[in-house]
Structure 1
C-alpha cells in the first residue's frame, strides 16, 4: 500500500468519526463515553467535553449522556463524593482546592458543596498536619525560616485556609527565638 493510500484510509480507532464500523452516531458517542469511563470515573460535563472535541452532535451527546445517567454509569453526586475522598487521601487537598478541582471537572456547585460537606474541619487539620510532618522529615538541614516558608506555600497551594496553615506550621516548626510566625514575612 502506498503512503498516500495509507493516509487516505479512515481512522479505525474506536469512537472516531469516519470509522466504518460505527455509522450510527449514537453507537459512536456511546463508545466514546464507555472508553472514557473505562479509564476512570468522569463527570457528565467531562464526557460532554470529550464528545464535543470528537465532533459528536450536541443532541446525540445529550441523548447518550441522559441514558448513561439513567442506567447509573454517570452520576455526578457519586463522582464528586469519590473524587473528594480520593483527592484528600492521595493528594492531601484542602476544601478550597477540592472545590476548584470539582468546578474544573464541570460538577455543579450544589453537588460540590454536598460532597465537600463530608470534609470535617478536624479531618482537614489532620491531613494538613500529616502533610507538614511528612515534608518536615525531608527538610532537616534547612534553616527554620525556609522550612516555614516552604510549608506555608505547600499548604496554601493545596487549598488550606491561612489561619489553619499558620497554626499547623507554627506548631510544627516552633520559632527558635520564641516569636510567632509573621505571615507578612513568609511571602518572600
Structure 2
C-alpha cells in the first residue's frame, strides 16, 4: 500500500524551505539587491555600499555581487552609458559634471571616461546653446554684464568647460544683438 503525503505536510515543507532561505544571509543579501535593482539600475559600488550599511559580511557581498555580475544584472559600463545619455539630455549636464557624478556612484574612472566619450563636442555645444537660449529670455532687461556672468556661471555649474561656456554665451548674445564692446569683454 502506497503512502501519500497529506497536503498539510507539503505546505509545511514549503514553509520550512522559505524559512531556511530567509535565514541564509546570502539569500537575504541577494533578495535585497534584487529589490534595489527593481527600482532603478545601480552600480556594483552602490549595491556594495547598501549591503555594507546592512552589515552584511564582505565575503557574502563579494559572492552575491559576483553572481549578479555573472548573470548580467550589474553592468557598470551600460549603467555609465545610460547615465551619460540621460543626464546630458534631461539635465543638460556637461562632460565634467557627468564624470564627477559617475565617480560618486563608484564607476571606475576608465569606464566613466569611455562612457563620456560617447558625448561628442557638437552635442555638448548644442545642449549648452539650448540652455543659454532658455535663460536669455528669462533675463531680458537685466544689465548685459550681469547676464553674461550669470550665463557663463550657469554653464560652468553644469559641467561645461570654460572655453565652451564663453564661446556659446558670446555667440548667443551676438545673435541677440548685444553690443560688440561687451562681447569683446567676454572674449578677454
TM-score range, shorter chain: 0.7 to 0.9
Distance 1:133 1:56, change over 3 A: same
When you count helix as a share of all residues, which structure comes out higher?
2
Say whether the 8 Å CA contact 2:21–2:27 is kept in structure 1.
no
Q: Distance in 2 between matches of 1:83 and 1:177?
A: 39
Q: Distance in 2 between matches of 1:177 and 1:107?
A: 44
Q: Distance in 1 between matches of 2:132 and 2:58?
A: 46
1:101 is matched with 101
2:181 is matched with 178
Distance 1:142 1:56, change over 3 A: same
2:66 is matched with 66
Q: CA RMSD in A?
A: 1.9
Q: How many residues align?
A: 166
Query: Which protein shows a greater Rg?
Result: 2
TM-score by length of 1: 0.83
Runs of 4+ with >4 A deviation: none
Q: Distance in 1 between matches of 2:124 and 2:167?
A: 13
Structure 2 stretches of 5 or more lacking a match? Answer: 1-18
After superposition, where does 1:1-188 map in structure 2 within 5 Å? 22-174=22-174, 175-179=178-182, 180-182=184-186
